[in-house]
Amino acid sequence: MAISSAVERHHIVFVYDHKGRNTAQIFAGHCPGDGLKGFTSSTVTVRKLGRIFVHDELGVVQAPAQTSVNVRFAPQPS
């Protein structure tokens, strides 16, 4: 089954197949910037609580996306 569309309504992402059937409902978070970020025929990408998650057509988390880390180096003594 392939994803035909994904729509966000009131912090919920609804996933639909090619026949228009709802295959998943994914909570999208309520923080600024959270929500539906995009979809392909096999995945839906959603930002929740500041983190990116990739779901399949049934809403199962496939992988939390890798997060970036800010690293600060202290100056080296001369």
Question: What CATH number does residue 30 fall under?
Answer: 2.40.10
- At 5 the pLDDT is 97
Q: Does the residue 76 lie in any domain? A: no
- At 68 the pLDDT is 44
Hey, how many other C-beta atoms are within 10 angstroms of the C-beta on 69? 5
Q: Does the residue 78 lie in any domain? A: no
- Checking if the pLDDT of 12 tops 50, the result is yes
Global model pTM greater than 0.75:
yes
At 44-74, the pLDDT tens digits run 999 998 889 999 999 999 876 555 444 444 5
**Residue 51 domain boundaries:** 3-64
- Tally of domains within the chain: 1
